[in-house]
Structure 1
Amino acid sequence: MPTKRTATRLTRRPALAVLGAALAGAAVLAVPPAAGADPTPATSDKWGVISRNTIGSPSAYLRDGPFGRTTDTPSARQQPPYGQGSLQIIVGDGTEKIAYGNETNFDGLEISDITDLSYWVFAGVDSLDGVSLPVIQLEVDPNLTEGVNYSSLNYLPDSSTAPSAPATRAPNVWQPYDATAAGNAWYATGATGTSIGCTLASPCTFDELQTRLPDAEVSYSLAISKGRDNAFIGAVDGLRVNNLVYDFERLGVFMKAPFPAY
């Protein structure tokens, strides 16, 4: 159904076709590169804390490490999955919320064109009991109902099962989460979630989201979000959108394949 964004979408079709082709056709990075590998600079200036989606005084910043513990020895030796750094996230309590993402480069990316969406999470706690992990959040125009131009689509790592989430979750170690693999759980906010039967109380799969929102497209941002639910301290790395991997490093956000300008 047409919305106020329809005309804009039509004029952007050629450029978005290039973007979709690049996202779908870039070389696949099946194995994380070595810690010493030189990343290619990306649009670091487009990544940062999304102030309008941040509440309280949480923090998110780029850093070296952290290193995980995968053995019984006290020393931490598991390096971040990509490069040497990551995105540190600290949320003090259940009243706070933070989002760190890109409000520019993903505008117009159609949800139906997303085939791979994943990331790595490090939870720096002694126990995961009562701890909710950061989520992938897509702020979209649903293009479903006249006058409804906003919803956020959220991956639920804590509600997902293997292979989308690790079969055994562990603290103080880097673990991968695949938001499009079998076992994934998602929900849409607002009237859109209720309309398509995909809410926080009754999640759906990403395939179901794509089927029920065939014309939805990213509008405001693609981000990592945490809160409002409980305290958290940890990190995120290796955010993958189709075949482009965004590597969070202390000196900026880097990607592993060319990103077309549009």
Structure 2
Amino acid sequence: MTALLVAVTAAGLPGSASADTNNNQAHHPDRWGVIARNTIGSPVAALRKGPYGPFGVTGTAASPPYGQGSLGIEVANNSTTLTPPSEKVDFGNEVDFYGKRLLGLRRVGFHVFQTGENVSYGGPANMPNIRFEIDPDVTSTDDYSTLVWVPNASPVTNGWSPFLDATTTGYWYLTGGETSCNQAAQCTFTQLKASFTAVNARPTIYTAAVGKGRDFMWIGAVDGLRLNDYIYDFEPDGVKVRQVR
């Protein structure tokens, strides 16, 4: 009976009722990095100090929301011979979220360092994403899709944004169109979950990542990735985990 309970509870995301059964696996800092097979061109996704400022900016917008660092991201728009010619990068964890229940996700979002130049490159919606590679569990022959959150425009330009809540802002879609949520029919977080339950699907996660591309040039940073009751704080010396309620 004990083994059965562990097997059942271990299926949730960190921060769910099952968190105590898999903290060591879910919070392994060395398992975060660039996901090579999801990277195109020669983009940058590196842990760094800052950014601070820029000049004249004060208050919470002037420094990373957690610690002293962040995840710096740089992608170009016309740097490859592929179609489209733009770069793509995912920085995430390919191990620790494997098999977790997607519908156990309750809180998700991050903070972004946006610049006016990024807005000029692709408009106010030129922003990084949160991506989950998943098994959608909609049909027996389709075991892969990428679930993407696209944030709204940052309320702060040339500085750090407040927390951007992916459960209440922006939109979600599946790259394979397995449910009613796709790039042509974008969903809220609530609609996304309902689209799975409507077809009796129990999707599970393969990987979790922050990414950018393939679209417009973007140079900025992300910090404070939240997944349920845990915040992943990107610091120059690694990914730190902060538990919140």
Report the TM-score range of the alignment, normalised by the length of the smaller protein.
Answer: 0.7 to 0.9
Is residue 67 of structure 2 the alignment partner of residue 73 of structure 1?
no
Q: Which runs of 5+ in 2 are unaligned?
A: 19-26, 79-85
**DSSP 3-state at the match of 1:180:** coil
Distance in 2, Cα, partners of 1:75 & 1:257 = 27
Using the size of structure 1 for normalisation, the TM-score is 0.75
Q: Judging changes above 3 Å, is the alpha-carbon distance between structure 1 residues 22 and 135 closer, same or farther for their aligned structure 2 residues?
A: closer
Q: Name the residue aligned to 1:206.
A: 189
Q: Name the residue aligned to 1:240.
A: 226
Sequence identity percentage: 38
Structure 1 residue 174, shift from structure 2 partner: 3.1
Q: Judging changes above 3 Å, is the alpha-carbon distance between structure 1 residues 127 and 98 closer, same or farther for their aligned structure 2 residues?
A: closer
Q: Which runs of 5+ in 1 are unaligned?
A: 1-10, 27-41, 159-164
- Most deviating of 134-143 and 201-210: 201-210
The one-letter code matched in structure 2 to 1:56 is: G
Q: Name the residue aligned to 1:88.
A: 72
Q: How many residues align?
A: 220
Structure 1 residue 68, shift from structure 2 partner: 3.6
- Most deviating of 223-232 and 205-214: 205-214
CA contact (8 A) 1:125 1:171 kept: yes
Is residue 140 of structure 2 the alignment partner of residue 146 of structure 1?
yes
Root mean square deviation, CA, Å: 2.7
Distance in 2, Cα, partners of 1:67 & 1:225 = 21
Q: Judging changes above 3 Å, is the alpha-carbon distance between structure 1 residues 175 and 126 closer, same or farther for their aligned structure 2 residues?
A: farther
CA contact (8 A) 1:138 1:222 kept: yes
Distance in 2, Cα, partners of 1:169 & 1:78 = 11
Q: Judging changes above 3 Å, is the alpha-carbon distance between structure 1 residues 64 and 17 closer, same or farther for their aligned structure 2 residues?
A: same
Q: Could you tell me which of 179, 183, 191 is aligned with 2:166?
A: 179
Q: Name the residue aligned to 1:53.
A: 38
Q: Name the residue aligned to 2:95.
A: 104
Q: Name the residue aligned to 1:37.
A: none
Q: Name the residue aligned to 1:122.
A: 113
Distance in 1, Cα, partners of 2:95 & 2:133 = 12
CA contact (8 A) 2:44 2:74 kept: yes
The one-letter code matched in structure 1 to 2:70 is: S
Structure 1 residue 127, shift from structure 2 partner: 5.6
- Most deviating of 124-133 and 200-209: 124-133
